[in-house]
Each structure stands twice: as C-alpha cells, then as structure tokens.
Chains A and B, each alone.
Chain A
Amino acid sequence: MKRAVVIVWLAATSAVVGAAAPAEAQATSVEAIVLGSAEFDGIEITVEGELVGDYGNRDDGTTWAQLNGGSYVTMPLREGGARSGSNTGIGVMIPAGLAEGLDPAGGYGTRGPVVSLTGVWHHHDPDRGGESYLEVVGLDVIEEGRALSQPIAWWPLLAGLGFFGAAITLRVRSSTGES
C-alpha cells in the first residue's frame, strides 16, 4: 500500500513538473514547413529566417510579415550569393510588442533582420478562412538588418544614350529627306 502511494505521488509530481516546464519547441526550417505544412499543424516550432516585404501592423495588435528561408538568408544574391531559385516563405503573425524595434523588412536595398521565431503553426486555420501561418510567441534577433547596395552600371546607360542619339539622328535625316 505504502509502495503504491509513493508511485502515485511520484507520478503526480512528475506530471505537475512536466506541465510547468516549457515544452521544447520542434526546430525546423521554412522549406520543411512549405513542403509538409499539414504535418506541423498545431505544433509549437522554432524556425529561422529573414523577415521580408512589409510589416503589416493591424488593428488587432498583431504584426504580419513574411519569413523566408533558403540560401538567400545566409548569402544574399546582392552580396555574391548563388542564384538558387524562387524564395521559400511563410506568413508569420507576431504580437505587436515583439515586433517593435525590428529593423526594416528585407527588400531591394535591404537585407531584413534574420530572426528565430517560436510559435504554433496553423495549417488552413478554420478561424482565419483557411490561411496557413505561424502564430509567434517568441522572437530572437539573430542578425540585425543591413543595407544592400548595387552600384550603377555605366555601360548600359551610355549605350542607351548612344542608341537614343542614333535614333534621333535617323529620324532627323528621314524628315529632312522626306521634305
């Protein structure tokens, strides 16, 4: 009897401790989510990537953005990275408080902040008309955003002006010839 009480006590204690300790979120990648979205439905995950596009600050206190994975995150195209295909991205819904102070999202002149997001993945969420997105509960900035530059290439500009000049000369000569 005494032994049974001890076992019950141990089981109850471990259950309580287990519930109190934060469950380990499953680490995954954006590509894995895009390829197997349904498998992650309702699961807490941690995923890394670059925030790109816009921060949509909505009235319900959430900020929406796109998190991109893939090789462009580690080596942007504009900094000599290889052309490795289309982007792979997922929608993320971040509580506005967590999104405050983030560097501008990635775009032409900007490499967006690289972040690690923890949250619950919703596959075709019935409450949001079937959308799929990550409901973020934790955000860590791994790498700050930075400016990307692309210096002007002079030869296309000069060649273009040259073609324009030739076109105008041709037209003027044609007009003179016609008259």
Chain B
Amino acid sequence: MLIRPVAEDFRIIGFFMGRVFAIFTVASLVPLLWAALAREWHPMSSFALMAGCYAALAAIGLRSSPKVRRLDWSHGMTVVALTWALAPLVGSIPLLLSGHWSGPLDSYFDAMSGLTTTGLSLVHDLDHLASSINFWRHFLHFLGGQGIILAALSLFAAGGGLTLYHGEAREERIMPSVTSTARFIWGVAIVHLVGGVVALTLVGWVTLGFSPMRSAFHGLMIFFAGFDTGGFAPQSTSLGYYHSGIFEAVTAVLMVAGAMSFGVHYALWRRNPGSVLRNLETRTILGSLGFTLVLTIVGLAVTGVYSSISGLARAGTFQLLSAHTGTGFATVSSAELRGWGGLEYGGIAIAMALGGMGSSTSGGVKALRIGLTLKAIGNQVRRVLLPDGAVVGTGYFQGSRKRLTPELAQSVMAVSLLYVALFLLGAGVGMAYGYSLQHALFESVSAGANVGLSVGVVDPTMMPAVLKLVFMLQMWAGRLEFVAVFALIGFLLAWVRGK
C-alpha cells in the first residue's frame, strides 16, 4: 500500500532543495562577475535574474524548516531528482535571453545537457556567443560533473548525506565519512583544474599562438568540458578548431582522468598503482577500450577515411577516447561523422554506450557493471560445465576483495538493461520522426550515456520538440542512473494514489 506523503515530507524535501539552491545562487554569481568584468552588460543582466531566481527558491525552501533535519532514502532521492530537473530550468534563463536559442525548450535542453555533462547543443551561431554565457555553459559541466549535491555535502555536512551521495549515482565511499569523501572529490577536481588549465593555456599561447587571455579562456573552457566529460566547446568546430595534436593530447589526458573513478584517483594519490591494476573495473575498461579501438581503427582503415597511419591513429584514438569517456569532443564535423559507416561507427557507438568508470564524471552503463555482468555470465557457464558440487569462485577485486552475490548480479544486470531500454526509447522516437535506425540509435546512445557526439539529429532548426523532450529525459535519467528517477516517480504516485 502506498502511503500518501504528509506536509512534513514536503518540508524536508523543500528544506534540502533550498540548501542546494543556495549553492546554485553562489555559483551563479561567478558568471555574473565574469560578465561584469568582460563588460558584457546584456548577459550580466540575465545572470542577475538567474541568481535572483535561485536565491528566491533557496529562501522558500529553507523557510519550510522541518522538525527533523535528516533525510531518509526516499526524501533524499526525491531531492536529487527534483534538483537535477529544476536547477537547469532556472540555469537556462541567460541562454534564453541571449537570443542564441530558439525558445525556452531549447535553452532548457542545453542547460540540462550542460549539467548532466552531455554536451549536445541546440545553440544558434555559437561563434558569436558572449564569453560569459559560454563560461556558464561550461561551468554547468563542472557543477554537474563534480556533483552539485557533493558541494552541499562539503559545505553543510548535511544530515542524511549518504542518500544524496548515492542519488547522484556515486557508490564508492573513499573516506570514512561521506562529507570527507565529498571534500576529497572536490580536492581532486581543484588539483586537476589548476594543472589542466595551466597546461592547456601554455599550449594555446606557446604552440597555437593565441593571445594569453584567449589561451586562458580556451584552457578553462576545455578543462571544464574535458575533465567533467561534458563536451561543450567554445567554438562551433569543437576540438577541430585548434588544429593541434598537442592540444588534443593534453585534452585526452584530462578526459581519461575525468572518466576514472575517484577510488582510482585515491589509490593513485596513495601511490598504490598495483591496486588500480587489480581492479575488475580497470581491467574491464582497458579491455573495452582495446576492443572498440581496434573496431574503430580497422573500420576507418577499411573504408579509407584516412590515407595515413598518423591520421588514422590520431583521429581514431581521439574520437574513440572522446566517446568512451563520455566527453563528446569532435575533431571532425557532424557531417563527416554521419558519413562514417560500418565498424568505426559501431566502435564509437559501443564505446559511448559502455561509458567510463563508476563514481566518475562520465555516463553510460559503466565499466564495473559490464565487468560484473561478464563475470556473472562466466560463472553461470562454469557452473553448467563443471561437475555437480564443484565450487565456482565468485570473488572479484575492486579496491578490496569482494563477493559477487546473486543479488548484486541481478541489480547490475537490471540497471544495464534499463540503459539498453533508454537507448532504444530515444532511437524508437527518432525513427518515428523519420531518422534512420543508424543515426537515431547513435544520437540516442549519445544522449542517454551523456556523451554529446552528434551525427546531426540534434539540430537547432530541424529537431522535433517531442524528440528534444525525450533526449532531455534520457540525459536526466542516464545521469542519475535511474534510482533517483524511480524514487521520484514513486513519491509522486504515493502523493496521487496513496492513502
């Protein structure tokens, strides 16, 4: 029987959402300041409106002051799901007012794409967009990739933090408490921020010959989009804009760092690479990277897209890494990517669907689930082949020695199947609008796995509104890995039909 939520339930949810919106208020002052310094007065005014809306929502939420200031599982998941739906709605205000988006749905689409670190975009004339708006788009990647709820945890040490932490699809608790884990994750991000921006700025300035200010601008934008595996870029030609192998190499390092779980970061920080290499997840992702890279390179070679080894290796490897890490940077145009067929197209699409590691900034099914699924299938086959009574080992290493229980295998496979269903949903709707299976499936996987590579289905002039809504749902559900979304649906059902 469903139990109808009472006023206290709404007060708890409102209070914790208020806390998260307070963080968004502070975050939105950064682009406002940027716009003022860059003397971009029109965008500055729209950032003031956005910040005011966040502040008002924060104040309304905090005013609800519940009697108990601890979250249970259902409340926490509902807070996460609602925050990830509402925050980009307010965050889309400056995009809408800039005049570079066709309407509220399109600007909401881009803000959702930014926060969920997807990178698909419906922007018109990106190359004349204000730098502050561009900053905000990329900053959304950073806020979403690092987990805005994590920020709330770091600052407020909120009661019931564990449920919020899991709600944002993070499973590994690296430190003894969730708050210290959250602070470690932000520490990792800040270290990479400094190193990554300095490296990219130097390449831009010394090698590419940009002015120091513009080098720093490009460095910051590409860092946000690369490390947080987002995929927005400040220019319309994405990473192809830079025409530089060194720039691509530095970006690739950041993308890989972003797709690594924070547990792996912690092990590396503790100088324990042996533990990293023993991890089932590391081995799975190395295997899937190798497999999809071979598919992509062989496909490109067979179809003769590149006539040189250097072209094949550089473009094939970068594009594959971009897909597998869930970043979505491109060094070729959508038109050219659309022309890729056969193995390389399949290699890129499979890599997008698999995604990076769990508890990282990337999306997709994730390497740990793939590894555990393969292990569960292998164990099942062994049980059939071995004599009755033979013992089949169910252990695996992931930070420490663990056991693959039937319940764990079931839950892993269920989430993996949900991803497949999510990909098929977008592909089906795309096909209903007349897109080919190949293109509809590619773009749907890109949205559901929060990648951002596009073969042109996401187009600001031609994309049907229903397909935009479906892709937004895919980005949202894919980023939260379903649990928080189902909890929200359950909460709403209980509200409507509960007793």
Query: Are the chains A and B members of one assembly?
Result: yes
Chain A interfacial positions (CB closer than 8 Å to B): 34-35, 37, 52-59, 63-64, 66, 68, 72, 76-78, 83-91, 93, 106-109, 111, 124-126, 128-133, 148, 150-154, 156-157, 159-164, 166-168, 170-171, 173-174, 178
Q: How far is the CA of A130 from the CA of B301 in the complex (A)?
A: 13
Other-chain contact of B237, A72, A76, A91, A107 (Cβ < 8 Å): A91
Q: List 22 A-B contacts (CB under 8 A).
A: A59-B209, A64-B209, A66-B236, A85-B461, A86-B124, A89-B235, A89-B236, A106-B127, A107-B131, A108-B129, A126-B307, A129-B310, A129-B311, A130-B314, A132-B332, A152-B41, A167-B52, A167-B56, A167-B59, A170-B56, A170-B60, A174-B63
| A164–B55 touching, CB < 8 Å | yes
Q: How far is the CA of A71 from the CA of B335 in the complex (A)?
A: 18
Q: Which residues of A contact B99 (CB under 8 A)?
A: 77-78, 83
Other-chain contact of B52, A83, A148, A159 (Cβ < 8 Å): A159
Cβ-closest 8 pairs across A and B: A130-B311, A163-B52, A126-B308, A160-B48, A160-B52, A87-B236, A156-B49, A57-B209
B267 in the interface (beta carbon within 8 A): no
Chain B 399-432, CB-CB to A under 8 Å as 1, else 0, gives 0000000000000000000000000000000000
| B241–A53 touching, CB < 8 Å | yes
Q: Which residues of B contact A133 (CB under 8 A)?
A: 243
Looking at A53, A91, A111, the one whose CB has the most chain B CB atoms below 10 A away is A53
Nearest B-chain residue to A63, judged by Cβ: B209
Q: How far is the CA of A171 from the CA of B236 in the complex (A)?
A: 43
B188 in the interface (beta carbon within 8 A): no
| B235–A156 touching, CB < 8 Å | no
Nearest A-chain residue to B133, judged by Cβ: A108
Other-chain contact of A150, B42, B102, B314 (Cβ < 8 Å): B42
Q: Give 17 new A-B contacts, CB below 8 A, not counting A86-B124, A130-B310.
A: A35-B335, A54-B208, A54-B218, A55-B209, A77-B125, A83-B100, A91-B237, A129-B245, A129-B308, A157-B44, A159-B52, A160-B45, A160-B52, A164-B52, A167-B55, A171-B63, A178-B65
Q: Which residues of A contact B310 (CB under 8 A)?
A: 126, 129-130
Q: Which residues of B contact A150 (CB under 8 A)?
A: 40-42, 130
Whole-angstrom distance between the Cβ of B281 and the nearest chain A Cβ: 32
Q: How far is the CA of A63 from the CA of B208 in the complex (A)?
A: 9
Q: Is the interface of B mostly helix, strand, loop or mixed?
A: helix
B77 in the interface (beta carbon within 8 A): no
| A87–B126 touching, CB < 8 Å | yes
Other-chain contact of A85, B207, B315, B459 (Cβ < 8 Å): B459
B272 in the interface (beta carbon within 8 A): no
Q: How far is the CA of A34 from the CA of B360 in the complex (A)?
A: 35
Nearest B-chain residue to A149, judged by Cβ: B42
Given contacts A64-B243, A87-B236, contact A107 B208 (CB under 8 A): no
Q: How far is the CA of A170 from the CA of B21 in the complex (A)?
A: 15
Other-chain contact of B45, A53, A57, A154 (Cβ < 8 Å): A154
| B245–A156 touching, CB < 8 Å | no
Q: Which residues of A contact B128 (CB under 8 A)?
A: 52, 72, 76-78, 106-108, 111, 148
| A162–B124 touching, CB < 8 Å | no
| A164–B208 touching, CB < 8 Å | no
Looking at B65, B214, B311, the one whose CB has the most chain A CB atoms below 10 A away is B311
Whole-angstrom distance between the Cβ of B291 and the nearest chain A Cβ: 22
Other-chain contact of B127, A34, A87, A131, A171 (Cβ < 8 Å): A87
Whole-angstrom distance between the Cβ of A75 and the nearest chain B Cβ: 11
| A156–B45 touching, CB < 8 Å | yes
Q: How far is the CA of A108 from the CA of B129 in the complex (A)?
A: 5
Nearest B-chain residue to A90, judged by Cβ: B237
Q: Which residues of A contact B314 (CB under 8 A)?
A: 129-130
Q: Which residues of B contact A83 (CB under 8 A)?
A: 99-100, 102, 124-125, 460-461
Given contacts A130-B306, A163-B55, contact A151 B127 (CB under 8 A): no
| B56–A163 touching, CB < 8 Å | yes
